[in-house]
Structure 1
Amino acid sequence: MSQTEKKKSSGFLVNLLFNIVIPTLILSKLSEEHQLGPVWALVAALAFPVGFGLWELQQSKKVNFLSVLGVISVLLTGGMSLLQLDPAYIAIKEAAVPGLIAVIVLVSQRSKYPLVKKILLNDELLDLAKLDACLKANSAEQLFAAKLQNCAYLVAGAFTLSSVLNYGLAKYLLVSAPGTPAFNEELAQMTAMSYPVIVLPVTVVLMVAIFYLFSQIGKVTGESLESFLRQ
């Protein structure tokens, strides 16, 4: 296994640990009154994904729109839970965040900074300067833009799917009153199930979009994809 592959694998496991495993264990095992209690268990559980998200932002030295949105989403969930709002509001929030991303993906296609390009075209993987030069040399910029538009529909569809699944999962699981151990247990279940129920299907759709775009690079430029990959 290469150093890059090890780094990606380590990053994925750490992400899983701080965003799902630890919060789930705290909410499900430490919410009783004789332990942390429902309020402090919720605060402790939320501290891990928020802290990890802020640490990632600090490490990267640049603002990542999706990371910022993830931190805001966790803070909203925690705030609504601590304020003991009706679980229906949390379900709406769970649907609103990916739904907002889907809208931004489509709207940004009409701007100079399409979000789908940021999501799918990674400068660490592809030599984007070389790709742009090749597109210009072949007068294929508009054709490639049309391919990116198709990807935008796929990515927006992935986040729309996430919106629907988020809402359904929250409505199904969050039935107890906030501020109780039962509610924390349900929140733990929702956190644990979010990966197989939501993340995996959305990841599949995003992988389809990436596969489609990479296959089109060769067709549009007349060169192999490997020629644009960074060594």
Structure 2
Amino acid sequence: MNPAAAAPEPRASPSGGVPGGTAGTSEPAPGASPNPLPAPPPHPPSPHRPPPENLWLNLGFNAAAPALILTFLSAPNRLGPAGALVTALLFPLGYGAWDLWRRRTWNLLSVLGITGTLVTGGLGLLEMSGFWFAVKEAALPVLLGLAIPLSLRTRQPLVKTLLYNDQVLNTARISEALAVRSQQARFEALLAWASWVLAATLLVCAVVNFTLAWWLLPATSGTDEFNRQLAKLQLWSWPGTFLPMAVGMFYALSRLLKGLETLTGLRGEELFHPRSRRGA
């Protein structure tokens, strides 16, 4: 008998392969993907962002309440000039401390506002003339206007805090696109240009604030009449500062976004976080 003819034929395994082979090595069925793609990793949790500041509370505590107190409670038969001034200062100071506790973050503009409030209180209690109030009103915008371009030499320029910040813009994606296109140098020049626009805007605010204070504070400091004039200055200084800043920041931001589109190749909403695009 021929031994080769007596050898048993190999039987197919249940998986369709050869016995002794690795399971699953059979040919894939027609139309099936030989190497299915792995499931995408879950999105990382979004970083904690502080709640937005309430604009009406800000205006109420920093402008309306102090102005009302200085106007109606400065008479000698009420709180008196000094008492009304101290009481009026408690509202912006208290709001600033509460906002810091609630949002757990320092707001540069709020810090400047609290500083200005303290200086105003000090000048009022020392019964300084209206000229020094005008200098104070102009000093803060001038200092901030100088700090913005000077901060370009630091690791965290102020223009990034005011305009180019990760709370709204997708800075990681923008940085990646800039690196791919080798446009970092032009991006730094764009930030420098935006910084000088903001500095010029703050210079305009300083001129407006000085003019308002010089015009609205002719009375002698420490009197009932002076406190009423100071209340009027509190009310007028908000639009006098807000309107130039709004125009300047809108112009700088719009040109910054247009420049980012040119440098990165990203378009419109691609510059922002997805949650920002949904309005969340």
Q: How does the TM-score come out when normalised to structure 2? A: 0.76
On the 8 A contact 1:147/1:213 being kept in 2, the answer is yes
Pairs within 5 Å for 1:124-139:
124-139=167-182
Equivalent residue in structure 1 for 2:212, among 165, 169, 174 = 169
One-letter identity of the residue aligned with 2:88: A
On the 8 A contact 1:73/1:97 being kept in 2, the answer is yes
SS of the residue 2:54 aligns to: helix
Q: Which residue of 1 aligns with 2:185?
A: 142
Determine the C-alpha separation between the residues in 1 that align with 2:166 and 2:151: 19
Determine the C-alpha separation between the residues in 2 that align with 1:195 and 1:70: 11
Determine the C-alpha separation between the residues in 1 that align with 2:115 and 2:236: 20
Q: Report the RMSD for the aligned CA atoms in angstroms.
A: 1.5
Q: Which residue of 2 aligns with 1:4?
A: none
Q: Which residue of 2 aligns with 1:23?
A: 66
Q: Which residue of 2 aligns with 1:3?
A: none
Equivalent residue in structure 2 for 1:224, among 247, 267, 275 = 267
Does 2:246 correspond to 1:203?
yes
State the Cα distance separating 1:114 from its structure 2 match.
1.0
Determine the C-alpha separation between the residues in 2 that align with 1:134 and 1:212: 18
Does 2:109 correspond to 1:72?
no
Determine the C-alpha separation between the residues in 1 that align with 2:59 and 2:106: 21
On the 8 A contact 1:20/1:191 being kept in 2, the answer is yes
Q: Which residue of 1 aligns with 2:255?
A: 212
State the Cα distance separating 1:178 from its structure 2 match.
1.5
On the 8 A contact 2:148/2:159 being kept in 1, the answer is yes
SS of the residue 1:109 aligns to: helix
Q: Which residue of 1 aligns with 2:157?
A: 114
State the Cα distance separating 1:211 from its structure 2 match.
1.1
Q: Which residue of 1 aligns with 2:85?
A: 42
Q: Whose helix fraction is larger, Structure 1's or Structure 2's?
A: 1
For structure 1, the residue ranges without an aligned partner over 5 or more in a row are 1-6
One-letter identity of the residue aligned with 2:227: N
Closer/same/farther in 2, CA of residues 198 and 64 from structure 1, 3 Å limit? closer
Equivalent residue in structure 1 for 2:229, among 180, 186, 195 = 186
Does 2:103 correspond to 1:90?
no
Q: Which residue of 1 aligns with 2:33?
A: none
SS of the residue 1:179 aligns to: coil
Structure of greater Rg: 2
Q: How does the TM-score come out when normalised to structure 1? A: 0.92
Moved over 3 A (4+): none
SS of the residue 1:124 aligns to: coil
Determine the C-alpha separation between the residues in 1 that align with 2:255 and 2:271: 16
State the Cα distance separating 1:72 from its structure 2 match.
1.0
Q: How many residues align?
A: 224
